[in-house]
């Protein structure tokens, strides 16, 4: 509508004025992804977002996603101003892994190499040997296992369980989950598959094992998008946040994408397969972040923590090159 169009134009002008670039995750709403694409920013998975922000020459990054993505950007480029549409956009995995309890867990397993998912606070990353995203988690653990290392994995128990089964590595797992992916229901998915026997099932590994077992492809957001282009199927059932449909449909307009069933019945859960924190990234919030003096939107990371968290983050970026 007219107001949205006007807001987009104002944001474009603000991005230029601040020499800022918009970095958006595939789970943000379609209008945010479209704006990032149109303005020379990026729409990406969490690993590519980190890499894009670290390499871009803009003075200001505006990160549309959740808090750990903004913190990662700040740790990798402390001289840039990193803004987020809202600092309230957290992640249930970050919430489910409080730094002090995590540190005590690490102390209990001193002989383990600590591998944490990017969906964590700077303080948790500061305690880690490695940070990984779902794009490279399997490869990193496989590598560490081949060196004979035991692994402490946190925080996502489903992703940890999946990697453990795939690699056979010696792993202890933290117990947390993504509230979005945890909602997918296997019995309903089997029924949907029966109704659409020609569909391939695409699953993000933050989903429970019973969902992963029904998958034709398992992977990070970018890997699932790739699978939607490369598999010969015309129809897909997708078990991840529905924000991803924008890019899948854009790349394959002729294909059909169906949402994997969740526990919600429409009355109790309007859109279970959409992260409530990703949904906070609206146009108005982006405009506000760029218009104000930025204080209420700017990411700051404690310098000592940032210095420690940089090491495992650098390992991640260097490993995946």
Give the residue numbers of the binding site for [4Fe-4S] cluster. 91, 178, 275
Q: Indicate the annotated binding residues.
A: 25, 46, 91, 117-119, 134, 178, 204-206, 221, 275
Residue 241 binds ligand SF4, judged by CB under 6 A: yes
Q: Which residues contact 216 (CB under 8 A, 6 or more apart)?
A: 200, 201, 202, 227, 231, 233
Query: Nearer Cβ to ligand 13P, position 142 or 287?
Result: 142
Nearer to ligand 13P by C-beta: 7 or 239?
Answer: 239
Joined together, the tokens standing for residue 232 give: 């010969």
- Read off φ and ψ for residue 173, nearest 5 degrees: -115, 135
Residue number, 181 or 297, with CB nearest to ligand 13P: 181
> Out of 206, 222, 227, 228, which residue is the one contacting ligand SF4 (CB under 6 A)?
206
Q: In whole angstroms, how close is the CB of 19 to ligand SF4 at the nearest point?
A: 28
244 binds, among ligand 13P, ligand SF4, none (CB under 5 to 8 A by kind): none
Distance (Å, whole) CA 135 – CA 320: 9
277 makes contact with ligand SF4 (CB under 6 A): yes
Give the number of other CB atoms < 10 A from CB of residue 302. Answer: 12
**Helices marked H in 147-243 — which ranges?**
157-167, 186-195, 209-212, 221-230
180 versus 310: smaller Cβ distance to ligand SF4: 180
The size of the interface with ligand SF4 (CB under 6 A), counted in residues, is 13
Q: Which of 58, 93, 151, 152 binds ligand SF4 (CB under 6 A)?
A: 93
Within residues 41-70, the interface with ligand SF4 by CB under 6 A covers 66
Does residue 83 belong to the site contacting ligand SF4 (CB under 6 A)?
Answer: no
How is the beta sheet containing 112-117 ordered, strand by strand? Answer: 130-132, 112-117, 150-154, 171-173
Task: Choose from ligand SF4, ligand 13P, none: what does 262 bind? Cβ within 5-8 Å by kind.
Answer: none
Question: Which of 120/164 has CB closer to ligand SF4?
Answer: 120
Other residues' Cβ atoms within 10 Å of the Cβ of residue 184? 26
Task: State how far the Cα of 86 lies from the Cα of 276, in Å rounded to an integer.
Answer: 12
Residues 109-123 as b/e (b if ≥16 CB within 10 A, e otherwise) read eeebbbbbbbbbbbb
CA dist 64 and 28 (Å) reads 7
DSSP 39-84: TT-EEE-HHHHHHHHHH---SEEEEES-HHHHHHHHHH-TTSEEE-
3-class SS at 277?
coil
Site residues for ligand SF4, 174-193, by CB under 6 A, read 178-180
Nearest distance from residue 178's CB to ligand SF4, in Å? 3
CA distance 216 to 153: 25
- Tell me the closest approach of the beta carbon of residue 173 to ligand SF4, in angstroms: 16
CB of 17 to ligand 13P, least distance (A): 30
- Please enumerate, by residue number, every residue annotated as part of a binding site for iminosuccinate: 25, 46, 117-119, 134, 204-206, 221
- Interface with ligand 13P by CB under 6 A: which residues? 45-47, 119, 133-135, 178, 206, 220-221
Q: Note whether 133 binds ligand SF4 by CB under 6 A.
A: no
Interacting residues with ligand SF4 (CB under 6 A): 66, 91-93, 119, 178-180, 206, 241, 275, 277-278
């Amino acid at each position: 509508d007219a107001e949205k169009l006007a807001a987009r134009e104002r944001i474009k002008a603000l991005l230029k004025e601040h020499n800022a670039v918009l970095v958006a995750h595939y789970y943000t709403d379609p209008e945010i992804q479209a704006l990032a694409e149109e303005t020379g920013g990026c729409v990406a998975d969490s690993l590519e977002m980190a890499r894009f922000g670290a390499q871009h020459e803009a003075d200001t990054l505006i990160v549309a996603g959740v808090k750990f993505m903004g913190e990662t950007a700040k740790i990798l480029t402390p001289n840039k101003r990193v803004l987020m549409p809202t600092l309230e956009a957290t992640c249930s995995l970050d919430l489910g892994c409080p730094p002090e309890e995590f540190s005590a867990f690490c102390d209990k397993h001193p002989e383990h190499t600590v591998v944490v998912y990017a969906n964590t606070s700077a303080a948790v990353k500061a305690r880690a040997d490695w940070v990984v995203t779902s794009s490279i988690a399997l490869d990193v653990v496989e590598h560490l296992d081949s060196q004979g290392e035991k692994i402490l994995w946190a925080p996502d128990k489903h992703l940890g369980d999946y990697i453990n089964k795939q690699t056979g590595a010696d792993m202890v797992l933290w117990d947390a989950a993504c509230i979005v992916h945890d909602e997918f229901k296997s019995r309903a998915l089997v029924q949907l598959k029966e109704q659409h026997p020609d569909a391939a099932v695409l699953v993000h590994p933050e989903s429970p094992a019973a969902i992963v077992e029904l998958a034709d492809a398992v992977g990070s957001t970018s890997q699932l998008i790739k699978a939607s282009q490369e598999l010969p199927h015309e129809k897909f059932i997708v078990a991840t946040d529905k924000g991803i449909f924008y890019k899948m449909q854009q790349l394959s307009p002729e294909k059909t994408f169906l949402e994997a069933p969740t526990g919600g019945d429409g009355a109790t859960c309007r859109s279970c397969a959409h992260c409530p924190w990703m949904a906070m990234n609206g146009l108005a919030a982006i405009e506000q972040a760029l218009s104000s003096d930025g204080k209420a939107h700017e990411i700051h990371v404690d310098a000592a923590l940032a210095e420690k968290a940089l090491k495992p983050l650098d390992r991640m970026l260097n490993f995946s090159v």
